[in-house]
């Protein structure tokens, strides 16, 4: 997409967020490349309020989420510094068009990652920590029955923050790890590490390839949210959420 058109679309997105406009399809998006062109212009507009880029989110990595959104491949967005929260954080529903929570495995990069690292074993050499995490998404009350995924990607793939447990350097086998999410102590969903593209590190490899296709790469210190093991939860009232994964700790967030 031409730079000026992408910039105009990015500025329109920013205005929609500020005015509380419901999510709607953007005009003129003919390809996923166009969507990432807009995202590349939109993210810098967010930095004044939310800080520098510190990592990425990968979305739609489980069959449950792909079916929910009607798409058969992952998507990516950028995580900004002031949107990174530690376990126990509080967030306000009023600060979002519609707040959603996704329950994930987070990864922190030990060193820059080459294109050649495209298997879980190869990726592991470039990872220094893994943790349970919760992604905060803002879908702005999107209509999932008529969802334009290209517009979702342009809108930074809806990332509005992340909440992290402490990273562990000695993580267990990730495919069989069962994560369980609870709301006020009652189960709301669960999923295995293998539900994330067969292995969470496959998500990291997919992201690195996506970044490479646009001239980038994963770098030392980057955080990667690898995708939700279950469907998004949309809190309708104040509540406490906890997500536990054996060997990866637990992460909690309070929604007010």
pLDDT along the chain (256 residues), means of 10: 93 94 91 95 96 95 74 90 97 96 98 94 97 97 88 96 98 97 98 96 96 95 96 96 97 98
**170 by DSSP, 3-state: which?**
coil
Residue 84, H or E segment? strand 84-86
Quick check: 30 and 36 in contact, CB under 8 A? Answer: no
Quick check: 173 and 201 in contact, CB under 8 A? Answer: no
Lookup: tokens for 92: 């306000």
Quick check: 81 and 180 in contact, CB under 8 A? Answer: no
DSSP state, residue 26: P
Give the pLDDT score at 212: 95
Class of domain 52-255: alpha beta
253 DSSP β-pair partners = 89, 241
Closest CA to 105 of 54, 150, 43, 162: 162
| Number of helices followed by number of strands (H, E) in the chain | 6, 12
Closest CA to 38 of 14, 65, 71: 14
How far apart are the C-alpha atoms of 159 and 1, rounded to whole Å? 22
Closest CA to 80 of 157, 192, 167, 180: 157
Residue 116's CB is within 10 A of a number of other CB atoms, namely: 8
How far apart are the C-alpha atoms of 81 and 50, rounded to whole Å? 6
Give the pLDDT score at 224: 98
229 DSSP β-pair partners = none
How far apart are the C-alpha atoms of 244 and 145, rounded to whole Å? 31
Quick check: 246 and 180 in contact, CB under 8 A? Answer: no
Give the pLDDT score at 67: 74
Quick check: 104 and 229 in contact, CB under 8 A? Answer: yes
How far apart are the C-alpha atoms of 120 and 202, rounded to whole Å? 6
Q: How far out from the chain centre does Cα 173 lie?
A: 22
Task: Give me the residue spans of the domains in the chain.
Answer: 52-255
Percentages (nearest 5) of helix, strand, coil residues in the chain: 30, 30, 35
């Amino acid at each position: 997409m031409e730079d000026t058109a992408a910039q105009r679309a990015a500025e329109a997105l920013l205005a929609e967020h500020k005015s509380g406009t419901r999510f709607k399809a953007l005009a003129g998006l003919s390809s996923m490349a166009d969507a990432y062109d807009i995202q590349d212009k939109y993210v810098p507009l967010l930095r004044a309020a939310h800080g520098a880029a510190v990592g990425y989110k990968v979305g739609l990595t489980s069959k449950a989420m792909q079916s929910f959104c009607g798409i058969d491949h992952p998507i990516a967005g950028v995580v900004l510094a002031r949107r990174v929260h530690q376990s126990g954080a509080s967030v306000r529903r009023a600060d979002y068009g519609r707040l959603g929570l996704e329950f994930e495995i987070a990864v922190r990069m030990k060193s820059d990652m080459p294109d050649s690292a495209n298997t879980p074993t190869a990726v592991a050499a470039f990872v220094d920590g893994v943790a349970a995490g919760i992604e905060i998404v803002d879908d702005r009350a999107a209509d999932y029955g008529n969802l334009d995924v290209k517009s979702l990607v342009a809108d930074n793939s809806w990332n509005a923050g992340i909440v992290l447990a402490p990273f562990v350097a000695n993580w267990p086998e990730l495919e069989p790890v069962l994560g369980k999410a609870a709301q006020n102590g009652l189960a709301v969903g669960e999923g295995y590490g293998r539900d994330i593209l067969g292995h969470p590190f496959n998500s990291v490899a997919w992201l690195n390839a996506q970044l490479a296709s646009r001239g980038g790469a994963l770098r030392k210190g980057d955080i990667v949210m690898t995708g939700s093991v279950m469907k998004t939860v949309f809190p309708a009232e104040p509540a406490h959420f906890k997500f536990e994964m054996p060997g990866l700790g637990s992460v909690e967030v309070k929604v007010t």
